[in-house]
Amino acid sequence: MDVLKSEFERSYMSDNQKNARNKKVLYGIIALLGVVIIVLGIYVYNLSNRSTTTIVTAPTKSASSEKASSSTKKYVAGEDYKITYSNTNLIDRSTLDKALKNSTGSDISYMMDTSEDGGDMAKVEVYYNKDKNLLVERLFKNGYKGDEDTTRVVYDLTQGKIPDNGADTNVYYQPSWLVYTWERLTK
Lowest-confidence region among 14-18, 135-139, 156-160: 14-18
| Number of neighbouring beta carbons within 10 Å of residue 133 | 14
Contacts of 96 (CB under 8 A, 6+ apart): 85, 126, 128, 135, 179, 180
CA distance 94 to 101: 10
pLDDT tens, residue by residue, 118-145: 888 999 999 999 888 889 889 999 989 8
Alpha carbons within 13 A on the beta-carbon side of 139: 18
Instruction: Name the percent of the chain in helix, strand, coil, to the closest 5.
Output: 40, 20, 40
pLDDT tens, residue by residue, 28-86: 888 877 777 886 667 666 555 444 343 433 444 443 333 333 345 788 989 999 999 99
pTM for the complete prediction? 0.58
Is the separation of the CB atoms in 55 and 84 below 8 Å? yes
Is the separation of the CB atoms in 176 and 71 below 8 Å? no
